[in-house]
Structure 1
Amino acid sequence: MLKLVTHRLLHSAILIFGVVSVIFFTNFVLGDPVRVLLPASTPQEAVEAFRAQMGFDRPILVQYLDYISGVLTGDFGLSWWQKADALTIAVRPLTATLELGLVAMLIASVFGITIGIAAAAKPDSWIDRLATSISIVGVSLPLIWFTLMLALVFSVFLGWLPTAGYGTWAHMVLPVVSLAALPLGRTVQITRAAMIDEMAKPYITTARARGLSERRIMFRHALRNALPPIVTEIGWESAVLLTGYTIIVESVFGWPGFGFASYHAILTRDMPVIGAMAFVAAVIVVIINILVDIAYVIINPTIRYE
């Protein structure tokens, strides 16, 4: 297990280095950062003086090496607009997004796996058809439309829940429902397909011949072997939710999360903050991937990584 984690950390360090490098050079590809920070009417002399003050007049390789050395110590520089530490600005809204993302994934995982197992237990039954319908609806719903409809019906028309805000469970209900729909639908599909595939294998026939109950066969044997693709799906959806997919939901419901903060940083081209947020997002993806790999080994100890 330690060897696996060490191996993944080394690969992840290279990945994060690549992400940070791409973000840095994108700053120069998209145009002159000085022109972003100064009004268009600024005299050329003032532009050049400001360029020298910010260090943008140095060779790009020198700027890149300085940037990387700062990243290694957690220093992404100061926000161009907020004049505060970029990494602090990037991490601050993460708590709010974690609240939404983790609750949404918990709901989607529990209900998705349960519905998928129920559908696989009785293929072509009304339960299977209902589960298939739920999964198709969850996958097909446009997020922006679904989010706006929830706000319109439950906040505006019925007045049951607040339209926007942060801090109480009532504020979480609609954003969580919005975010849980897609991963729930996909989890149902993956669970159903994986379970049906396992239930058709010879070892299940052998277990039935030995007189084992259908419940025990389903949960002790089939589910255990079907878990790897399910865990992969849950890990992928978790990474997506926690690294920016929440932007639409956070914007509609006024939730001060990571996605909305990322959008604001990109809109203002605040490159230090964008770099810090890309770094944070890469770290989240890396952590989730390592947890998924560890889960594989726990689920099936025969799995080994070379």
Structure 2
Amino acid sequence: MSDESIYVERLVDGPLEPVWNRTQDPAEHARWDLRFTEIDYLPREDDEPQRFTYATRIGFGLGIEGTGESVATNDEGEETTSVLAFESDSPLSLISEGRGFWRYVETDDGLRFLTDYNYETRWGRVGEVIDSVAFRPLLGWATALSFDVLARWVEEGTPPETSYRTLLAHALARVGLALIWLYQGLVPKLLVSHPTERAPFEQLGLGAVSGEAVAALGILEVGVGLALLVRWRSAWLAYVAGLAPIGLTAGAVLSDLSVALGPYNPVVTTLGMAALGVIAGSLAGRVPTAANCLRSPPE
């Protein structure tokens, strides 16, 4: 196994009971946990560990299936723990087998819900490299994001399906707006220095420096596009990036009405950017995020 296990902890502002129920009930668990599509408990005797099957649908008819078993203790007045082991024979699964635990610790500040797990990989050295470079960080992020979705379900009553739809809508709007800014700064200004981009500066008598001015504006626009991606949950940045072009486009239309009459003109682009900015800005503070979780044990 890797020397570094995956640790995730989320402080939940709520009681133990709903967190316990939504993690121990397989149907409820599959709703919030991004790592699984289906979880089913198998019949068992009272003194046996709970065996289960799980599946993760990748798409295009492909999926990964596995089995596992868990032992949960929920004794009043004691630290509550659920220990599990899992394995998969699927050749598509990078994980061959693993083990870990969930722990539920009641404190004066809320419920500490945490997990620590590790696993062995298949595919030899190639599998180890894929795991360390991409898969393990992605799996840790998915675990943390899922924990935040669960916490919001308990704290706010937001169903997991709503949280994930909000996450998708925000991502589409924000990435779309960022791509427009990146394209407008990179292609017509920095790579091509299109005559249309230089024309306003030449009309102002700045033809000698129009190339430099266009390049500087291009760098600024690329910076805005990158900032939208880096400052992922910044609402004010999304609003500014979406609505600022309205003033610039209005000025261009007032000086030359013809710019608003052609196909794919700046007015259409500006309206689309404004819509994306409003959507991304309004959803920014409501999207679940892995950043709300601890990724290493507290000191």
Q: TM-score, normalised by structure 1?
A: 0.31
Higher gyration radius (CA): 2
Structure with greater helix percent: 1
Give the number of the structure with larger relative contact order, counting CA–CA contacts within 8 Å between residues 6 or more apart.
1
Question: How does the TM-score come out when normalised to structure 2?
Answer: 0.31
